[in-house]
Amino acid sequence: MQADYLQIQHLDITLSGNEVIKDMSFKVRRNTLTTFLGPSGSGKTTVLRAIAGLNRHVNGQILLDNQEIQDRSANQRNIGMVFQSYALFPNMTIFDNVAYGLRVQKQAADTVQQEVAAMLKTVGLTSKRDAYPDQLSGGQKQRVAIARAMVLKPKLLLLDEPLSALDAKIRVSLREQIREYQQKLGITMLFVTHDQGEAMAISDDIIVMNDGCVQQQGSPMSIYTQPANVFMAEFIGNHNLLTGQQLQQLGFTTASNRPLEVAEHYVIRPELISAIQAPKAVAISGKLTALTMLGDRVRYQFLTDSGLTLTVEELNFAAPMATDVPLTLYLNPAVIHRVGPANAE
């Protein structure tokens, strides 16, 4: 099992008199890609900058590889950072941009040549070594910025929404490349995004933040299938959020193999409700009232005979189910997940 590499303990950050991060603690395992995910203003970048040493209004403990670094200056932490903007030197070639940090460290010329050539090969830009930034696409520029950070072999690489300025197709391609770099080089990365799909696609762990607090940390699968609270259930993916009393109206007596508690909240993911009858599934009668085409999926609104409306998603088989006709759908109570209060305690 990978050891804890970065440990944040009781972190408090106050900016302009406002407490923006509140007693935050979490751990990051060595050689993993961990993503900060959350709505705008949740504090993701603030925490990243505190780890990097760019925000000094910090109380708490930051340990990297078992060494306290919260009192060190940014240039003493051996942490790399990639920002939203590429911040490349326009008057330098791509080779010289990537070599810049090594030369500041006064590395030998032969070492610089070898390290930069190897890194350009890793990011697929060997043919662009003599080009200038204005001759590159946005995706290529971001790869140069990533290469410039990685060539210094930092203990930790922080990426602050590095793909936000790119169009959708390039974002998907580059996020896959970042994951490939991380695994190939064994770098520990912290990645900030507000894009759920991005976080789910590349992360070993996801730390979900809201209002300066960690709501949940876990694998992409666990935070999707087992949200810790109402905020998580509503924020991650699509959902049906019902009380135990409402589930009783639908004919359920248990959820996750436990008796229902009428006052508690439960989440049902739309793709788990099916038109196919399966063992132990409960039948729900009603009719479809609307559908939305989503490409590979179809999203339906299902009005139950008890008056509740559920969101249902099915793979797109090019023959959507009919609306406004009686229909029975099925749901296994074992996949209904109970969630806690709206926010983390």
Render 36-93 in DSSP notation, one character per residue.
Answer: EE--TTSSHHHHHHHHHT----EEEEEEETTEE-TTS-GGGS-EEEE-SS----TTS-
Tell me the C-alpha to C-alpha distance, in Å, between residue 187 and each of 20, 34, 139, 225.
29, 11, 21, 28
Is the per-residue pLDDT at 71 higher than 50?
yes
Domain that holds residue 261: 238-339
Give the containing element (helix H, strand E) for 110: helix 109-122
Are 93 and 196 members of one domain?
yes
Euclidean distance between CA atoms 102 and 50, whole angstroms: 24
Q: Which of 230, 262, 289 is the last residue of a domain?
A: 230
70 and 201 both lie in a single domain:
yes
Give the mean model confidence (pLDDT) for residues 26-50: 95
Listed in sequence order, the residues at least 6 apart from 163 whose beta carbon sits closer than 8 Å to its beta carbon are: 142, 170, 171, 174, 175, 193, 195, 198
Predicted confidence band at 345 (pLDDT cuts at 50, 70, 90)?
very low
Clarify whether residues 247 and 305 are in a common domain.
yes
Taking the C-alpha atoms of residue 162 and residue 166, their distance in angstroms, rounded to an integer, is 9
Residue 54 lies in a domain: yes
Domain boundary among 179, 212, 230: 230
Please give the pLDDT value at position 343: 63
Q: Which of 103-112, 300-309, 318-327, 334-343 has the lowest mean pLDDT?
A: 334-343
- Average of per-residue pLDDT values in the chain: 93
pLDDT digits (tens, 9 = 90+) for 176-209: 999 999 998 899 999 999 999 999 999 999 999 9
Residue 250 lies in a domain: yes
Q: Report residue 87's pLDDT band, with 50, 70 and 90 as the boundaries.
A: confident
Domain of 130, CATH number, reads 3.40.50.300
Is 2's pLDDT higher than 70?
no
Asked whether residue 344 is domain-assigned, the answer is no
pLDDT of residue 318: 75
Count of CA atoms in the C-beta half-sphere (13 A) of 190: 29
308, with CB counted inside 10 A (0-12, 13-18, 19+), is middle
Least confident of 8-12, 51-55, 221-225, 318-322: 318-322
pLDDT of residue 55: 85
Tokens of 164: 């936000």
How large a percentage of the chain has pLDDT more than 70?
98
* End-to-end Cα, the chain, rounded Å: 28
What pLDDT score was predicted for residue 84?
82
pLDDT value at 285 more than 90: yes
28 shares a domain with 171: yes
Mean pLDDT of 287-308: 95
Residue 345 included in any domain? no
User: How confident is the model over 7-21, as pLDDT tens digits?
Assistant: 999 999 998 888 999
Residues 92 and 129 in one domain: yes
- CATH at residue 281: 2.40.50.140
- Per-residue pLDDT at 1 exceeds 60: no
70 with 19, same domain?
yes
Does 49 reside within a domain?
yes
Range with the lowest mean pLDDT among 10-19, 162-171, 282-291? 162-171
The pTM assigned to this predicted structure is: 0.90
Q: Quote the number of domains for the chain.
A: 2
Q: Region 262-275: what's the mean pLDDT? A: 95
Asked if 22 and 132 sit in the same domain, the reply is: yes
Domain boundary among 208, 230, 252: 230
Mean pLDDT for the stretch of residues 294-306:
95
